[in-house]
Structure 1
Amino acid sequence: MYDCMVDEAKLWLDEPPHRKRKLEAPPPPPPIVDYSLTTTFSDSDEEEIDPVEREKYRKQVVESGGFDVDFFPVYGSLYQSGSTPSTVLLSKVGLHTYNFDKGTYLQFRSVQKANEEYASFTTYYITVEAVDPFNDDSPVTFQTSVWDAATKSNESSRFITRVSRIKGTKEETSLWDHNAVDVFYKDDIAWLEDDALTGSDKLQYYEVKELDMRDNNEWLYLYAEVAMFSKWATDLSAYLPVKMNKVVVRTREDVESSMKLRSKNATFYMSFTACGGLECRGIIRRTTDGRPQHMSLQAICWIDN
């Protein structure tokens, strides 16, 4: 498990991760909550590690894939996180990945447990309580692993889902294959050109109709939340829900205009109003590597007032 994470992290080490930028002139923020946890890492020598403890920890990590671990020795890189703004948001991202792939509509209810592991960048292993609204809101225990990866294309955040499955299904996991992503989606993220909808590439664009936003595409509002989180990295409950003003999607996939929303590789340009009157613009670039359970969301946000 750890070797895989190190291999993935090496994909990004040629460029240091960007720091989350503070809002230049923020409105009164919600109450600050300290979500930090005390960790107990030490520099103990190998011979000082209790072999019984080491085996207990190793077995829990290997058998559960990092999800069902309740023993955290001082030398382990995995530690308990719990429900925080990050794990709540990434739970929704993982559910979106699953729904997008399976055509389902599972909805987030709460974080049951969450573990974090740091190997150059942070990977989250989150167990989620979800419900299926098309099956009498029956409860579903869901697992997602999301990698908070380095940023490389002018975005503020990049979240890569590596696991998105109903617990117990035993779907195999695999590394994210950066090389499998269309090179068209590897350039720097920038706002729409003035003539985007009328220029030579106009067939790549679609301005989303209001009906499309209501018709089982509520994940567009999640994308607005992801964009704002890339700017603030804090609890956003005081600024939700947002009012969506305009969404334009761009993709090179050869599909009918309204189906561009379902493109596996696409860029979404959004303008929206957050609670409190903040006028925002956000970009989400969605890409996949063709492997099950995988999705990458790159995000950036601007505040226009």
Structure 2
Amino acid sequence: MYDVMLDEANLSLDEHEARAPPSPVEDVYFSDEDDMDAVEHEKYRLQGFDVDYFNHTYNGIIPRGCSPYDTLFAKAGLHCYNLEKGKKLQFKSVLKVNAEIASLYNSYTTSEVMDPINNSLHTFQTLVTDAGYKNKARLILVTKICRIKPQVPGMGDATTLWDFDAIDDFYKGDMPDWPPNDDQWQFYEVNELELRDNEWLHLYAEVALFSKWDSDMSAHTPFEMKKVVVQTTEDVDSSMKLKMNNAIFYMSFKVHEGPECRGIVRRTSDGITGHMCLEARCWIDN
């Protein structure tokens, strides 16, 4: 089992806001923490949402204001939960953010979400790592915890440890180019009904554009989705490709009062509850 790590992303809170690109390193971003007992570190992470200040010899979890990064991370974490549970919980607002700065940035967000079935409100927690720049991706979001807040702080069935070996090799290495140059696997174009029924595809467009702009998207949404094509190695009916743990999404969309864009988002998972990785890159056409 591996914890998400990117040795080159030596970030501070101020550096995180700028997201300065790290120096190239070897092709590994999932690795073990060096100086921490695994059991202690797991307990430490699970408590990270509820502490006002948690010091540690290696790093610390501290409260901070909510940035556009944290809002995007919270939305990505909720999407992971909805995808796994077959839910359609809707994001309302971020209530609290704790940040952990080690060799990368970990965002502990506590949000308010709504269940549209009965309009009930819930407190939602997600731990998402900004894993820097890698393999032609300009943004890599790695979810570790995505859950309704447990009744007892620090409890629940979450684990922050990733099993990188569980991901198919097809989804590792460099992100694909546009247009895709691999015709080994069948592509599926999402139809108009599916575009309407799967609003999270707009989130993927937002993730892609955020990888280019690094700024608040509220003035530029909703996007006008032009076309979405899905690529996956799994032999399933075409309409099921949207729901696979591992898939690549090629999107063309127009920003509200802005340019037309093309984005690629690669979604992977190790199959563990609460775990999803989104890698993104984007081109602005005009």
TM-score, normalised via structure 1 length: 0.76
CA contact (8 A) 1:80 1:116 kept: yes
The SS at the match of 1:206 is strand
Give the letter aligned to residue 279 of structure 1: E
Identity %: 49
Gaps of 5+ in 2: 18-39
Larger Rg: 1
1:96 aligns with 2:92: no
Correspondence for 2:206:
225
Cα–Cα, structure 1 residues 266 and 228, in superposed 2: closer, same or farther, change >3 Å? same
Residue among 147, 161, 179 paired with 1:175:
161
Cα–Cα, structure 1 residues 195 and 93, in superposed 2: closer, same or farther, change >3 Å? closer
Gaps of 5+ in 1: 20-34, 37-57
Note the alpha carbon deviations across 1:47-99, whole angstroms, 9 max, x for none: xxxxxxxxxxx9xx849520011236698622212322111111100000000
CA contact (8 A) 1:82 1:111 kept: no
Residue among 147, 153, 160 paired with 2:135:
153
CA contact (8 A) 1:244 1:271 kept: yes
Matched residues, number: 253
- The alpha carbon displacement at 1:176 in A equals 1.5
Give the letter aligned to residue 76 of structure 2: V
Matches within 5 A, 1:221-300: 221-300=202-281
CA contact (8 A) 1:165 1:171 kept: no
CA contact (8 A) 2:144 2:275 kept: yes
Comparing 242-251 and 143-152, the one that deviates more: 143-152
Correspondence for 1:108:
91
Aligned-residue CA RMSD (Å): 2.6
1:123 aligns with 2:109: no
The SS at the match of 1:134 is coil
Looking at structure 1, the residues matched to 158 and 230 of structure 2 have their Cα atoms a distance apart, in angstroms, of 31
Looking at structure 1, the residues matched to 233 and 214 of structure 2 have their Cα atoms a distance apart, in angstroms, of 31
The SS at the match of 2:117 is helix
Looking at structure 2, the residues matched to 93 and 298 of structure 1 have their Cα atoms a distance apart, in angstroms, of 12
Correspondence for 2:33:
none
Give the letter aligned to residue 139 of structure 2: S
Matches within 5 A, 1:47-126: 62=44, 65-71=47-53, 77-126=60-109
Correspondence for 1:206:
188
Looking at structure 1, the residues matched to 180 and 172 of structure 2 have their Cα atoms a distance apart, in angstroms, of 22
Cα–Cα, structure 1 residues 160 and 195, in superposed 2: closer, same or farther, change >3 Å? closer
The SS at the match of 2:4 is helix
Looking at structure 1, the residues matched to 66 and 137 of structure 2 have their Cα atoms a distance apart, in angstroms, of 25
- The alpha carbon displacement at 1:290 in A equals 1.1
Correspondence for 1:303:
284
Cα–Cα, structure 1 residues 150 and 143, in superposed 2: closer, same or farther, change >3 Å? same
Cα–Cα, structure 1 residues 72 and 220, in superposed 2: closer, same or farther, change >3 Å? same
Looking at structure 2, the residues matched to 72 and 174 of structure 1 have their Cα atoms a distance apart, in angstroms, of 17
Give the letter aligned to residue 68 of structure 1: D
TM-score, normalised via structure 2 length: 0.81
